[in-house]
Amino acid sequence: MSKKAELSFIFLILLFTLVIYLPILNGFFQNDEWAAFARFFVDDQSLPAIIKRSLIDRGHFVPLYEITYRLLIKVFGLGYAYYAVISIILHLVVVFLVFVFSKKIFKGDTFLAYATTILFAVNAAGHQATTWPLIDINTHGAVVFSLLSLLFILGGHTILSLFSLVISLLFKEITLGFLVFLPILYIVFRLINYLLPRDTIYTVVTDSTSKFDILKNLLGFPVKAVYETIFPPRLLLLISHKASALLPESLTGLSGTTAFDIFSERISLPVIGILIVSTLIFIFLKNKKKNLASEVFLIGLFFVILRAFLCDFK
């Protein structure tokens, strides 16, 4: 594909994304946005005070966000539409960087790069971030510079990559958490609770939870995330009900009863999910030596499992 055609396609994707997000211009501030305005008008706005607050914040480490959102309020005041426009522009920047990154990962396969970009542009996570004007500055800033960091490291520019990573972390520390600490904390947390269950006040694992259930969840959440990412949960539930209907009623209970629903959700659904994951593993092994399939599978699986870690902590 020529460079001109490639640019035309990515322009169409960005235009499509813009049209999808234009309705947020008719939105309004709520919840955290008003809290941000309150901090701006009430707190000490000197630079040392801002930096101090960002360092002792119990929620996130966001010093660059603390500075950026205050500058934006000074410029735009309470004009919602201005923040919505900035949010859309930042999302379009992220979408473009996702395309560039995808193209490198997929070794120039523009079809896969376009497909990835379109899915990212309109998915639920990106929509939630972009429709949260002002507050989204930290997430968008972190994502933009983390993608730049990845692109720089792929291009062999180590210093620029580290610099971009630091900026990303200063917008929001989630970059480091996703790539390093979150999986480690997840495993350590699970193993500690498996070996030493504690009081219900301090942990989500209670004394009444069997070690088998804890171990099952430890191994099961990533698998569940894989098949629920590929297929909508409602579709999986429908398939599990159809599969349960083929089994003896003495095993599943009467169709339409609570017992039948419980069997479908707790037995049929996980079995179908395991079959889906097993099929993916088979495809991966079969295509292991072929060009791209194995790499695409591993990269996709990596991000899906990270999603599972995050959902489990929630």
Looking at the fold, whether 159 and 183 belong to one and the same domain comes out as no
Which of 154, 172, 190 is a domain's end point?
172
Q: In this predicted structure, what is the pLDDT of residue 301?
A: 54
Looking at the fold, whether 123 and 215 belong to one and the same domain comes out as no
Give the number of other Cβ atoms within 10 Å of residue 94's Cβ.
22
Q: Which of 126, 160, 159, 128 shows the shortest CA–CA distance to 143?
A: 126
Looking at the fold, whether 160 and 214 belong to one and the same domain comes out as no
Looking at the fold, whether 161 and 224 belong to one and the same domain comes out as no
Looking at the fold, whether 142 and 265 belong to one and the same domain comes out as no
Give me the percent of the chain exceeding a pLDDT of 70.
67
pLDDT tens for 88-126 read 999 999 999 989 988 888 777 778 888 888 888 877 666
Please give the average per-residue pLDDT across 260-285, as a whole number: 85
Q: In this predicted structure, what is the pLDDT of residue 89?
A: 92
Count of the separate structural domains present in the chain: 2
Looking at the fold, whether 264 and 163 belong to one and the same domain comes out as no
pLDDT tens for 161-201 read 888 888 888 887 666 655 555 556 556 665 665 555 554 44
pLDDT tens for 186-244 read 566 656 655 555 544 444 444 455 666 666 666 677 677 677 766 777 788 888 999 99
Looking at the fold, whether 139 and 55 belong to one and the same domain comes out as yes
Looking at the fold, whether 140 and 23 belong to one and the same domain comes out as yes
Q: In this predicted structure, what is the pLDDT of residue 93?
A: 93
Which of 172, 189, 212 is a domain's end point?
172
Q: In this predicted structure, what is the pLDDT of residue 120?
A: 82
Q: Which of 52, 55, 68, 31 shows the shortest CA–CA distance to 144?
A: 68
Q: Which of 111, 72, 113, 94 shows the shortest CA–CA distance to 21?
A: 94
Looking at the fold, whether 241 and 138 belong to one and the same domain comes out as no
Which of 141, 172, 203 is a domain's end point?
172
The domain of 307 spans 177-313
